[in-house]
Homo-oligomer: A and B are copies of this chain.
Amino acid sequence: MSEMQIETKLGISAQAFKDGMASLAGAVNIVTTLDQGEKVGFTATAVCSVSDSPATLLVCLNRNASVYERFKNASTLAINTLAKGQDGLSNVFGGKAPMQERFNNGEWQSLQTGSPVLADAAVSFDCQIIHRQSVATHDVFFCEVLAIKQTDNAGALLYFQRGYHHLNANAV
């Protein structure tokens, strides 16, 4: 049993949870919106499919994040799922750089809502926010998908065990 760590109590510490979550691999996304004409975006792994009818995703955002004020009244957002090799973009949008500087990296377009869409993301979901739910420290944004743009053979950028990993397009 030496390879097991078991932690059992009523409620788990934040550190124990983070250690556990390090073993749950996640796709890396840049979530964007337009706030009073300014492009805003942050890196997120807490993105999840909800339904295909209507097409719905969710995004979790910490209410203490500096970017929260820019998203809390938004009516639309885009989820840009990063391709293999886009580690640099993930770092820029996950760091402290001012918004304008962030968007100097990568080529940004728009689809239907005007939220910034990354030209060479693996896939981008352009969404209307249909519901917000506060849970613990975070708001969960439920988003109905209005437009999708995909790039073929883009592979995937993953975050796992506190580092980036890459998947090729079709290798199994």
State the A residues within 8 Å of B (CB). 3-14, 16-21, 23-27, 29, 45-56, 58, 60, 62, 81, 111-112, 122-123, 125-126, 131, 133, 135-138, 140, 142, 144-154, 156, 158, 160-161, 163-165, 167, 169-172
Q: Which of B27, B136, B147, B171 contacts A12 (CB 8 A)?
A: B147
Given A55-B12, A56-B135: A171 in contact with B165 (beta carbons within 8 A): yes
The A interface, classified by DSSP as helix, strand, loop or mixed, is strand
Copies held by the complex: 2
Q: Please determine whether B20 and A50 come into contact, CB atoms closer than 8 angstroms.
A: no
Q: Please determine whether B52 and A18 come into contact, CB atoms closer than 8 angstroms.
A: yes
What is the CB-to-nearest-CB distance from A131 to chain B, in angstroms, rounded to a whole number?
7
Known contacts A23-B122, A23-B150, A58-B135; 8 additional CB pairs below 8 A are A3-B151, A4-B149, A11-B55, A12-B54, A17-B55, A18-B52, A24-B49, A140-B140
Q: Please determine whether A53 and B136 come into contact, CB atoms closer than 8 angstroms.
A: yes
Given A49-B46, A135-B50: A9 in contact with B147 (beta carbons within 8 A): yes
Q: Please determine whether A21 and B50 come into contact, CB atoms closer than 8 angstroms.
A: no
Complex interface: chain B residues within 8 A of A170 (CB): 161
Q: Please determine whether A53 and B14 come into contact, CB atoms closer than 8 angstroms.
A: yes
What is the CB-to-nearest-CB distance from A167 to chain B, in angstroms, rounded to a whole number?
5
Q: Please determine whether A123 and B48 come into contact, CB atoms closer than 8 angstroms.
A: no
Q: Please determine whether A169 and B158 come into contact, CB atoms closer than 8 angstroms.
A: no
Q: Please determine whether B47 and A152 come into contact, CB atoms closer than 8 angstroms.
A: no
Pick 6 A–B contacts, CB within 8 A, sort by A.
A6-B111, A6-B148, A21-B49, A53-B137, A158-B158, A164-B172
